[in-house]
Structure 1
Amino acid sequence: MLIIAHRGASGLAPENTLAAMEKALELGASAIELDVHRVEDQLVVIHDRWLQRHTDGHGLVHHSTLAALANLDAGQGQRVPTLWQVLECIDGRCDLNIELKGRNTNQPLIELLSQAQLQLGYQPQQFLISSFNHPKLMRLKQLQPDLKIGALTASCPLDYARFAEELGAYSVHIDVNFAEPEFIADAKRRGLKVFVYTVDEPEDMLELQRQGVDGVFSNLPDQARATLGSHTIAPGHVWS
């Protein structure tokens, strides 16, 4: 089973910061998940639309500037990194799940992933792009047919994982509160990988393992590794 560090090792360092990414690598997470918004012509790594929860700033992320973001404290003296800074930090040592937030992220993402392959040595298969915005994922897949996409949901749809199959998704990402056995089984029948978020309780991890899910997003990758033991998959090219 994959242990995907949720916003980095966010239970142990400020979420979506370089410190959280380094901590996830140190703890042997199979892969790292992070969130991006567009600011000016770049993608910045932050979860919320508003700055208040993550930083000592105020206002909407997309109304900010790169210069202003660089001066904010994202916790313990950490800064809000750009996606490029995170890619440099990780340096291809594990695969990434990039969740798209906000507006107009597709084109800068495509350009940045190409740049990462040329300049940093990443392989195309190291990236999995996810979003709750399914029309955005559909457009991205049309622009980059070979790119792996993951369809997020925070519900248990009537037709289970059909929406993800119709998008041509590689994976479906299910809220732990809606990870019903029937939903998981349907996704597997459709040939989809099943990843469940956000899973920090050992009992949940073991139950999801019994149900055959392919991975869990966890804020505590060290605890997840201790719980799942030899069943965990080491970092590397895990989006197979």
Structure 2
Amino acid sequence: MEENREAGRAAGPRRLPLLMPTLMIALTVVTGVVEAVSLLALGPVFTAMQTGNVLFLAFGAARVGNLPALAAAVSLAAFVLGVVCGARLEALTEARGKRWFITGLIVESGLIVAAAAAGWGLVPHYGSPTDRHLTVSAILALAMGLRNTTILRANLPGVPTTLVTRSMTAFLGGAAMGRGNVFGFGTSRWALRGLSVLAMFAGGFLGALLVRAGWTVNWLLLPTAAVVLVVGLSYRAEPRLHTDQTSGREGPA
């Protein structure tokens, strides 16, 4: 019996490296779908990749390009609120010895459901967003701000789930330099970076096809909420995340 307990303890840590990358890739696909909905059905506006919104605001301030600065400002403000609330909730949850990763994803799923409810029956529309379009994009940005806090706690290098620029750079840099380089060419982490780029593409491609097919906003978002919830529940039996990570520090991508 003692040997069985030892075997169980040894098996526990090994499951985490196999499970977490799969969950992070699934969340990256979700981000691609959400950004397709935000950009093509609600905007143009980003809800996860806030670099785009910062540039939209810059172009709008310069009065060049006729881009909708209001939608970008609303999304950016909601994203900031999501990050701040996520950080506070994370601290409270971890202080009680609970797993923020699970709680964060459950809350994110609920926010996406709320966005779907706000956009129930709303037909995708690109350009000149209405108040309902702005409301849905704000709720999604709030959810994505929360997601970024959640992923920082997960601290899985190479799969930030809401952007792929660094992952793509490390993946292509490793391929160009070959083995023995700082990008870890040929390792599982290097492969994971490539998968994260493909996952973002797949999510964006799927979301764009569904928008083109004329799906209303609620049906575009409800499946993504379900995926996020499943990801959170899939992690519930795993060991609690380490709480000794430096707050706000991101692992190497």
TM-score normalised by length of structure 1: 0.30
Task: Report the structure, 1 or 2, having the larger helix content.
Answer: 2
Task: Report the structure, 1 or 2, having the larger strand content.
Answer: 1
- Asked which structure has the greater CA Rg, the reply is 2
TM-score normalised by length of structure 2: 0.29
